[in-house]
Structure 1
């Protein structure tokens, strides 16, 4: 019996070391060498060098002087990366309809002079509930509110939105998008 058990134990130990130590060490080393920023969470810092968040995870911005991202469907706290998920509410679910109506009302209260249609990504959560980007239309919708609050000309903010708009990946995948954290950090730099 020992004769049959010994090769199994040796194979178990070898494979454990290979797949549990050597392979992860190689992959981690390559990631750190080739993609250091991404391997460390794509962290963003402000002008003082303070880490403010990740460019890959939506952040809660509620000040009228900042651009707002997509609503978060995570619970119990908004933008809780540990609870990433969608709301799982269908388009005819009364709870979703009520939530969207409340979000539209909140946007109208925050900027009563804005008569433009509210972009859908400002009132609906994404599948993960943590999207860091909004559409250029959603950023444009917020320009006048942010400009009034910060006492900045809207044209300056529009140029900042344009400068922070990412095009389609490889020219054909996805849609143009604006990373809300990057935009707000660039705007904070502008205000200094």
Structure 2
């Protein structure tokens, strides 16, 4: 019986430490040092009425299919093997989409634009995938292609500590900046 009561006390102590004190400390430190990231990196815009509207998170991809927008990776999750017929059919369908969207673009379609990411909600594309879309976006918006590329460059993050990862373009942030630039012109 003594072992049982000792076990219950140890369980209670570790429940308080691991279930309450540790999460509270980590949450407090996160809110203090990394408030934006701890709260989901939410992006808001000012509406015409002067209030703020939540448009999304810089950490989650959104679906854009209109030609005036930068389009990200397909937002689907698939467990299909690269060699499967289902995967080949999905890629072929996506290639048809891109060819119909910009029939005059003779450049090779970047592979990431026709294959889904592992999570299905990747908010970034490579600078090369963004560059593939510059001419189409510029033509649709009546903007100079250099201005579109400059907006993409502004929203491109580099490697962490100049070593880790690859440069990446946040699709939502670029599209919001494109809307803002179009409204200003």
Give the TM-score, by structure 1 length: 0.88
Instruction: List per-residue Cα deviations over 1:39-88 (Å, max 9, x = no partner).
Output: 101111124331111111111112211111101223xxxxxxxxxxxx12
Structure 1 equivalent of residue 95 of structure 2? 104
Whether 1:122 aligns to 2:113 is yes
**Pairs aligned (count):** 179
Structure 2 equivalent of residue 80 of structure 1? none
Instruction: List per-residue Cα deviations over 1:128-160 (Å, max 9, x = no partner).
Output: 111110011111111122112211111110111
Q: Report the secondary structure of 2:133's partner residue.
A: helix
Q: What is the rounded CA distance, in whole Å, between the counterparts of 1:105 and 1:62 in structure 2?
A: 13
8 Å CA contact 1:135, 1:176 repeated in 2: yes
Q: After TM superposition, which residue ranges in structure 1, 4 or more long, deviate above 3 angstroms? A: none
Q: What is the rounded CA distance, in whole Å, between the counterparts of 2:81 and 2:3 in structure 1?
A: 57
Displacement of 1:100: 0.9
8 Å CA contact 1:71, 1:124 repeated in 2: yes
Whether 1:176 aligns to 2:162 is no
Structure 1 equivalent of residue 84 of structure 2? 93
Displacement of 1:32: 0.5
Q: What is the rounded CA distance, in whole Å, between the counterparts of 2:7 and 2:62 in structure 1?
A: 49
Displacement of 1:168: 1.4
Whether 1:53 aligns to 2:52 is no
Q: What is the root-mean-square deviation of aligned Cα atoms in Å?
A: 1.3
8 Å CA contact 1:57, 1:131 repeated in 2: yes
Structure 2 equivalent of residue 84 of structure 1? none
8 Å CA contact 1:161, 1:178 repeated in 2: yes
Q: Report the secondary structure of 1:46's partner residue.
A: strand
Structure 2 equivalent of residue 33 of structure 1? 32
Q: Which runs of 5+ in 2 are unaligned?
A: none
Instruction: List per-residue Cα deviations over 1:152-187 (Å, max 9, x = no partner).
Output: 111110111112111112112222110101111111
Q: What is the rounded CA distance, in whole Å, between the counterparts of 1:114 and 1:47 in structure 2?
A: 35
